[in-house]
Amino acid sequence: MRRKPSRWPAAVAPLLLVTTAALQILLAQVADLSPWKGGGFGMFASLDHTPFRGIDIVAEAPNRSETLEISPSLEEPAARAATFPSDFRLTQLAKAVVAREKRRGQPVETVKMEVWRQDFDPISLRATERRVRSFSYRIP
Amino acid sequence: MRLWFRPAACSGTVETALRLTAIALLLRPMGPWYVLPVILCLAALAIVLPTALRTPATWLALAVLVGVRILDDWPLADNHIYLLGYWCLAVALALATTDISAMLEKSSRWLIGLAFALAVLWKAVLSPDYLDGRFFRVTVLTDPRFADVAMLIGGLTRNELEQNRLALQALPEGAELLTPPVVTEPWRLRVLAGIATWGTLIVEICVALTSLVPGGRRTRRLRHASLLAFCFGTYAFAPVAGFGWLLLIMGLAQCEYDQRALRGLYLGAFLLVLVYSEVPWAALLGNWLGLQ
């Protein structure tokens, strides 16, 4: 008698999709991952994504407290940190800020960051900023 | 081990689906320097050499490379890159079996069904700003990729569009302007946002249900019809051709041997999404109508 071919290979990729999506939904709910990213298929479902998320960065040192622009060298780590503001991502961004400030010969001891997102009023669409996370990195 | 390097005997439908996947990989190059050239070479080989196209190892390697690209860029990769990785993995596993067409039909149906079910979950349950229409109202006004549509269908002038963008800039938490700027939304724009909101959700529910429920001949027809309707409609506006191609390829993989016309429709839709992505049709139409 001929053995019926196993069906499990057809289920592997869909199972991987479900696992990744479950993790994405969890991270979006508890750790502020943007619904658009992470493989959970939340794109085109929410305004909580890159154009409406941002990070304010302040470099501090004795006699210095300066709000920094996101320079081209910081764009990528800033985009990652805004999309998923975890301790790891924010520390990576802070280290990139420190490296840049040192290249510019600017003193820095602490990097303070505030991740925000834009909320829109359901009727008037008026936009307001809402803080998602604050983070402070002190150079060890 | 030898199984992974032995070219499989595929049907014409499967070969077309695999070839289109390779074309999609070439049309939208992706990944860091250590991944990109390998993906491009494998995709080119798959198109030129039938044995490479039908070898499971080719697709397993592509699945791994797409996975590396996602990890390298995490969390910034778009969702269709994940779907591409799952699809390449499903192809590799199917090519290593004896029942390739049935395996691919099943995998692609589940992948599409689950992706759409998750998209519906996000829109209808998890997102606070989709069902009330805010998502599309704001997106059409602020995303430059939708500017032509906002003017052509929504009835906005370029000046109104720019004023709206300024009006939608955020104020710091707790701040309020004495005379806040008003967002101009002509009734056509509200109708467009409403149709986009509910039309997208309804079609996505149809695709999810008809894909996840095995069903009979009628369900299969509905499945193809809703998937094609989604792709014809969505990718005229949504700037993610890569997603559209992948859905159409997976839809094509579900065609039966005697469904030549349907296969032709999928191929035509693949080309149409390509045209949508390369021709600024809304801007051209707007210019022609003197709306710019």
Closest partner residue to B103 (CB to CB) among A9, A126, A128 is A9
Provide φ and ψ at A127, rounded to 5°.
-100, 140
pLDDT given at position A2: 54
Instruction: Check residue B269 and give its pLDDT.
Output: 97
> Which residue in the set B103, B118, B135 is minimally distant from A41, CB to CB?
B118
pLDDT value for B102: 93
Distance from CA of A104 to the nearest CA of B (A): 27
A122 has a chain B CB within 8 A of its CB: yes
Under a CB-based contact definition with an 8 Å cutoff, are residues B161 and B139 in contact?
A: no
d(CA B223, CA B209): 8
pTM recorded for the entire structure: 0.94
Check if the beta carbon of residue B156 is closer than 8 Å to that of residue B184: yes
Q: What is the pLDDT of residues A51-67, one digit of tens each?
A: 999 999 999 999 889 99
Among chain A residues, the shortest Cα distance to B107 is held by: A10
Lowest-confidence pick of A32-36, B114-118, B170-174: B170-174
Give the pLDDT confidence score for residue B216 in this predicted structure. Answer: 87
Residue B48 pLDDT greater than 80, yes or no: yes
Q: CA angle at residue B248 from B243 to B254, to 5 degrees? A: 135
Q: Report the residue of A34, A41, A84, A132 to disrupt the B interface, i.e. the one with the largest count of B CBs within 10 Å.
A: A41
Give the tokens for residue A56.
């304010």
Give mean pLDDT, residues B50-69.
97
Task: Express each pLDDT in A64-114 by its tens digit.
Answer: 899 999 999 899 999 999 999 999 999 999 999 999 999 999 999 999 999
Report ipTM (2 d.p.). Answer: 0.93
